[in-house]
Amino acid sequence: MSATYVQVAHLLPDLDPTDKAALPAQVASFYSRAIEDGRVLVGERLPPIREVATCCKVTRATVQEAYRRLADLGLVAGTVGRGTIVLASATAASDPSHRLLSPYAEAALRRTRAMKGAPLLSENQELVANFAELAPDESFFPVDEWREAMDAVLRTRGRELLGYGHSTFGLQELRELLVVRSHDSDPELSADNLLVTAGAQQALDLVLRTVCSPGDTVVVTTPSYHHMHGLLSAHGLQVVQVPFGPDGLDHAQLSRVLARPSVRLCYLMPTFHNPTGRSLNLEQRKQLVQALADTDVAVVEDEYQHSLRCRGDALPTLRSLDARGLTVTVSTVSKDLFPALRIGWVAGSDHLLQPMAAVKRFMDLETSPLLQAALVEFMRRGCFDNHLSSLLAELRLRHKALQAACAQHLPEGCRVTDPDGGFVAWLEMPNSGHAGLGQGEQLADLAAERGVRVVPGRAFDLDGAASRGVRLCLTRTNVDQIHHGVRVLGECARELLEVHAPAQTFL
């Protein structure tokens, strides 16, 4: 009996003629990612060369070259009469355990193994400054106050809270308190619009499970939150990146992407964006909502640092501006308090939250009633506000120190963002590196040799593309360490610029 090969439908690249990468490289990269992420399975057939060429408005030779590159990588094989077939990976062929995994689990595993963070210090290198970790400083954890809140609810409601809860949506009193805390950015929000989750990551997972199906397309920014890339892989979703720079989103490219029929969701971080620290201003938010107005594309806005505003007034959430009711807001207390408190939430319209709650019920029944009740007690005692006030005071000092140190130590042409809050900022070199390695990564490597850890920008690109930037986190560095660390970064940046400066020609 002859084998049957399934052709991948509607999986066509969205090419950008202005991109520095050649068109064959863009096509090859698109299908390479699709195979890596499990959107194209072993044994499936890529679209015919003629179809890709016609739909993407390129020559057949362009697509042939792209498929040849995929074949050279061992990802596909072209056979007369059958088309271009995806091959089994060497890992799957040699490891029987991989036969038990879904292609999406394999894709998530591969992305996890491929993720690169900040370069590590050598064994004998003393740490000067750690700008790498986006994890709250444990010296600020309100341990005693939290223990007292936990003891109080256990004494008064212990038998009730140690059993199952009564609502997948979460404790009513907690949702009401969260609504009060969100009033400045979403004044129309009500407790009925909130679903309490086990942290923001579960909230993001719930959104994907509710809105998307394998093969759908999700729009993300570049750069973007790198753990979202792995979550999208685990769901078997296509991903399209839209640049996010000093002027916000590239609306021309966003409009082109939104026209694609497979796009189901946009993942955005409009406030204190990770990794750049930038925020969309009010006009940019309105323009973004207007660009989405005539579509049925859902939006998830990740507001994980919304409470960490150091200056200026709160900006309205995209959810509050979206008259379609297709935007949900995800948030958490992990960055405000401590990560072990796995409490986050989703704010959205009823027609999105009801199915989301149904999915959550079959995942974990509910978020811990004990932790929810302890958080309510912690808030009512004023401990949350006191803790946040102290944290913001320190964060203001660190942001001020970062800007002063960068102005003093960075060479001309280097730029650093000046966020209105949050834990991160973005340092960018004035020009690219060479030999395929962005100067962001070169800066990170050189700084690590001198005791300073930063995360190179390519970690926040879906394809690991070379970047001029590095992310600077302020959670693990005090004011003195910021000054010392930026001085080292300035020295490293100056050396790199001198090495890559064009040679002068004398006549």
pLDDT score recorded for residue 402: 98
At residue 26, does pLDDT exceed 80? yes
Domain 23-111 belongs to what topology? Arc Repressor Mutant, subunit A (1.10.10)
* Distance (Å, whole) CA 330 – CA 204: 7
At residue 465, does pLDDT exceed 50? yes
CATH class, 143-381 region: alpha beta
* Distance (Å, whole) CA 272 – CA 77: 45
For the chain, the 3-state helix, strand and coil shares in percent, each to the nearest 5, are 45, 15, 40
Task: Spell out the SS3 assignment of 100-143.
Answer: HCCHHHHHHHHHHHHCCCCCCCCCCCCCCEECCCCCCCHHHCCH
98 in helix, strand or coil?
helix
Query: Which CATH superfamily, name and number, covers 115-134+386-499?
Result: Aspartate Aminotransferase, domain 1 (3.90.1150.10)
- Taking residues 485-489, what's their average pLDDT? 98
* Distance (Å, whole) CA 161 – CA 172: 14
Percent with pLDDT over 70 in the chain: 90
pLDDT score recorded for residue 88: 52
Question: In terms of C-beta density within 10 A (0-12 exposed, 13-18 middle, 19 or more buried), how is residue 495 classed?
Answer: middle
Q: Which pair of tokens denotes residue 4?
A: 């049957």
Report domain extents, the chain: 23-111, 115-134+386-499, 143-381
- Taking residues 43-67, what's their average pLDDT? 88
- Taking residues 103-128, what's their average pLDDT? 80
Average pLDDT of every residue of the chain: 89
Contact (CB, 8 A) for 288 and 318: yes
At residue 95, does pLDDT exceed 70? no
339-368: per-residue pLDDT in tens? 999 999 999 999 999 999 999 999 999 999
Between the alpha carbon of residue 68 and those of residues 21, 55, 64, 75, 77, the distances in Å are 17, 19, 6, 10, 9
Distance of CA 397 to the CA centre of its chain: 26
Residue partners of 210: CB distance under 8 A and separation at least 6: 352, 355, 356, 359
